[in-house]
Structure 1
């Protein structure tokens, strides 16, 4: 039993239309699935990714209209990152951020990689990270349908940062229960006062890493727009996922049990500091109900919601068509 790396990261938005514009038009990601929150079908759940929405490239957003802005703090997924191929790509993105008025910070180095921090309009704290010195989990293939050259495009998800009040319980779960291994540490913060511990799984590298810092000086995060809701980890098959359910519950953790999300299967569990983890299968994939060429072109519903399509569509505000088409 070994997790393969990051599967997807799911965040919160108060405005699906604005979110769609930012991540497709400005960031050049492909909308690979336009669907609904299966637990509240009145609202959108949007998935962005590489050219096919491969596992490890999926960034998703739950829409909750009129949601207040987050109050940052500890016991949270406090940052996420997107992979690009080279350091030169960061220069391209810095110029693009200037052009489109995206808030960003200067390129710097983090754990041996060049990074470009930036924020979307709702305050998601994000980073573009260069794979130039990376090894390990293979990246996806950037989508070029938005006009961004392939050599500069986003190829997948990079390290996810966890900020916790109590370090040891989280590290114990990661290493003793989930099979993560320590791969180093670095200093962060304006004055390098915060020690960040790095853990990896599977083949390692940017596509698998969790960066964990302890912050007892902060209040707990109050989630809102701009918050990361959960991080998901990859397993290959449904059988492996069911084994993970048994493994976690045998250790005393309460889990969601096996959950069919149609495009993948999942389980959910909360780690000791209250951060929500998901483990998800690599398949079946987003082309289960749409061809690769047509991904994101219509409202997709899992079969168990299809008989409610008319009702569901009547409660949703139509979204403009994103960039579509072959590379």
Structure 2
């Protein structure tokens, strides 16, 4: 049976300053700003989306930047590191680039036969770059970072858990993931076609401190599904195993349901369609502020209250 979930869709996190967030992810990591919109529940706050050229599922990192938000704390019950794939020959390039921009990093380390670097963004969010030959997705040619070194998309996400048993049961039963490797208390699961963009690492950290949410914290991780019908089927499977997912919510660029896994991390199932080209052409993604129709009458006030952003690569 074809899995209803086919990998990671997006990761959404919190930040303290919108411009510094753009400077890091567009300017240093070379991701594309694929959508500039607002938090649908708080339109005085941006919702910034970064990804590949088209904002493909499995490449999308998004942020709610709340000005002056206190920094969070990594710990148990949290997605602690979001890892991106890079080509195997690009590791030294990225070490030099991080050094150039005074971003401290650790590594290269080795995990599951792949080398990776570990560092934090300006708010302390955990980021990794994993050098792998498995990822055949094209990098975005932004004219600044050579395409042969460019970030490809997500590799994996790391979930720190005090107790892994119920989380593993969730991943392997209604969410259709398969355990593919274990090393030093890290349990790697994959779904769909497998490989980068389809991995979830469950990290057993029974002595960890409890995570505190704030700037630099991941708010939720979304898993991809192909259609509204497959999303509803997953929802029924979650209900049948004792979970209480929300109803379907329209997020303009995808439809979503949300629920908490046993360790407390917020999960989402997001549809792959309709995608980010529904309200602007691919070649102009992220260049103007996009609002849902119910906020259009308030556009002038919303634009006046949001800080201006410069989105150039460095």
Fold match by TM threshold 0.5: yes
Contact 2:22 2:311 in 1 (8 A): no
Distance, in Å, in 2 between the alignment partners of 1:260 and 1:284 is 11
Hey, what does 1:201 align to over in structure 2? 191
Contact 1:109 1:115 in 2 (8 A): yes
Aligned residue among 152, 157, 161 for 1:160: 157
Alignment of 1:42-191 (within 5 A): 42-86=44-88, 88-132=89-133, 134=134, 140-187=137-184
Which blocks of at least 5 consecutive residues in structure 2 are unaligned? none
Q: Are residues 1:34 and 2:36 paired?
A: yes
Contact 1:46 1:60 in 2 (8 A): yes
* Residue 152 (structure 1) shift: 0.2
TM-score of the superposed pair, with normalisation by structure 1: 0.92
TM-score of the superposed pair, with normalisation by structure 2: 0.95
* Residue 139 (structure 1) shift: 5.2
| 1:283 match: secondary structure | coil
* Residue 113 (structure 1) shift: 1.1
Which blocks of at least 5 consecutive residues in structure 1 are unaligned? 188-194
Q: Are residues 1:8 and 2:5 paired?
A: no
Distance, in Å, in 1 between the alignment partners of 2:136 and 2:122 is 26
Contact 2:26 2:311 in 1 (8 A): no
Q: Are residues 1:230 and 2:251 paired?
A: no
Contact 2:74 2:211 in 1 (8 A): yes
Contact 1:75 1:275 in 2 (8 A): yes
* Residue 130 (structure 1) shift: 1.6
Distance, in Å, in 2 between the alignment partners of 1:321 and 1:172 is 42
Distance, in Å, in 2 between the alignment partners of 1:3 and 1:301 is 29
Distance, in Å, in 2 between the alignment partners of 1:306 and 1:156 is 32
* Residue 146 (structure 1) shift: 4.6
| 1:18 match: secondary structure | helix
Contact 2:159 2:203 in 1 (8 A): yes
Distance, in Å, in 2 between the alignment partners of 1:298 and 1:139 is 30
Hey, what does 2:22 align to over in structure 1? 20
Alignment of 1:274-289 (within 5 A): 274-289=264-279
Hey, what does 1:292 align to over in structure 2? 282
Distance, in Å, in 1 between the alignment partners of 2:217 and 2:311 is 25
Distance, in Å, in 1 between the alignment partners of 2:143 and 2:239 is 44
**208-217 vs 307-316, which deviates more?**
307-316
Contact 1:4 1:233 in 2 (8 A): yes
